[in-house]
């Protein structure tokens, strides 16, 4: 069993050295879209996504010392990856504190991205509540980006929309969107969220971020400027299947995180870490 608190010792691993995704799974029904996005976000030089199921036996003692738990969600992930001819690393662990153990596993394995599936709180009213909110808190201050995937479908992605600002969330949004667009060989539209509203002119650091992304992506990258910091305008300017948005900006515009996206739209809400 993993330790039930996230690692907080002095960090010795830089962002450039950390690679890969950790993908916790719990609900077999939501596994396919989550694994599809994880595979899309995995660069050729990265290790395969590590898919982890934390199993809580509600205080019961495992039948045998050292016996691994079984997980329907983990088996669904294995089956999905096999059907796509893709590689994943799959593991199930006993845990009395899944949120803390997930963050500890990601930090110990020197992984730079945690990708979580859609979770409702016990009340059924808040996607960001419960374990997801605890993971956000435990990962803060560690060199781990967190993405919460509010899934709709695992259908192919034709274009990635990303709401990008110059803060840690925006930088992580841009990185994740670029990974997916490059792997899927699809177009990407970066919607620039400026701190100079209402002038809606991009900040200097934001322009520099986009310049670096354009050097890597070339003509696949298109940009636009969010003309108003509002949920309605965000939706108007991001009419595609996949939208990636920073956590702070999502909270600012009151993004409806308690709802599953309508139709086949997918949303990833990202908490970035300081560079």
Q: What is the pLDDT of residues 36-55, one digit of tens each?
A: 999 999 999 999 999 999 88
Q: Tell me the C-alpha distance between 20 and 72, whole Å.
A: 23
| Average pLDDT along the chain | 83
Q: Tell me the C-alpha distance between 106 and 69, whole Å.
A: 20
Mean pLDDT, rounded, for 99-105: 94
Confidence of residue 176 (pLDDT cuts 50, 70, 90): very high
Decide if pLDDT at 245 tops 70. yes
Residue 33 contacts residue 149 (beta carbons within 8 Å): yes
For the domain made up of 21-150, the CATH class stated in words is alpha beta
The answer to whether domain 159-271 has CATH 3.40.50.620 is: yes
Handedness of CA 230, 218, 208, 181 (dihedral sign): positive
Q: Cα 135 to chain center, whole Å?
A: 12
Residue 54 contacts residue 93 (beta carbons within 8 Å): yes
Residue ranges of the chain that CATH labels 3.40.50.620: 21-150, 159-271
DSSP letter for each residue of 140-156: TTSS-EEEEEE----SP
Mean pLDDT, rounded, for 264-275: 87
Mean pLDDT, rounded, for 103-130: 75
Q: According to the model, what pLDDT value does residue 129 have?
A: 55
Residue 67 contacts residue 93 (beta carbons within 8 Å): no
Tokens of residue 65, six digits: 């010392």
Q: According to the model, what pLDDT value does residue 123 have?
A: 46
Give percent above pLDDT 90 in the chain.
55
Which of 195, 210, 233, 267 minimizes the C-alpha distance to 33? 267
Decide if pLDDT at 249 tops 90. yes
Q: What angle do CA 234, 240, 219 make, to 5 degrees?
A: 100
Q: According to the model, what pLDDT value does residue 212 have?
A: 87
Residue 139 contacts residue 114 (beta carbons within 8 Å): yes
Task: Please enumerate in sequence order all residues whose Cβ is within 8 A of that of 80, keeping only pairs 6 or more positions apart, or say none.
Answer: 31, 32, 35, 36
């Amino acid at each position: 069993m993993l330790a039930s608190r996230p690692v907080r010792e002095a960090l010795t691993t830089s962002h450039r050295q950390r690679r890969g995704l950790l993908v916790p799974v719990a609900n077999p029904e939501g596994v396919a879209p989550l694994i599809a996005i994880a595979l899309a976000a995995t660069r050729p030089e990265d290790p395969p996504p590590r898919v982890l199921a934390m199993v809580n036996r509600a205080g019961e003692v495992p039948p045998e010392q050292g016996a691994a738990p079984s997980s329907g969600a983990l088996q669904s992930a294995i089956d999905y990856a096999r059907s796509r001819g893709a590689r994943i690393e799959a593991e199930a662990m006993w845990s009395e504190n899944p949120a803390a153990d997930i963050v500890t596993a990601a930090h110990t394995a020197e992984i730079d991205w945690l990708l979580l599936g859609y979770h409702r709180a016990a009340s059924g009213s808040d996607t960001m509540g419960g374990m997801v909110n605890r993971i956000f808190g435990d990962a803060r201050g560690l060199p781990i980006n967190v993405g919460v995937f509010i899934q709709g479908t695992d259908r192919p992605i034709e274009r990635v929309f990303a709401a990008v600002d110059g803060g840690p969330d925006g930088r992580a949004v841009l990185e994740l969107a670029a990974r997916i667009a490059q792997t899927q060989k699809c177009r990407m539209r970066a919607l620039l969220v400026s701190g100079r509203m209402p002038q809606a002119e991009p900040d200097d650091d934001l322009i520099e971020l986009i310049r670096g992304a354009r050097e890597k992506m070339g003509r696949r990258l298109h940009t636009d400027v969010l003309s108003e910091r509002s949920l309605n305008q965000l939706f108007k300017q991001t009419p595609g299947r996949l939208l990636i948005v920073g956590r702070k900006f999502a909270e600012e515009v009151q993004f409806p995180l308690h709802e599953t996206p309508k139709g086949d739209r997918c949303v990833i809400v990202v908490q970035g870490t300081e560079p």
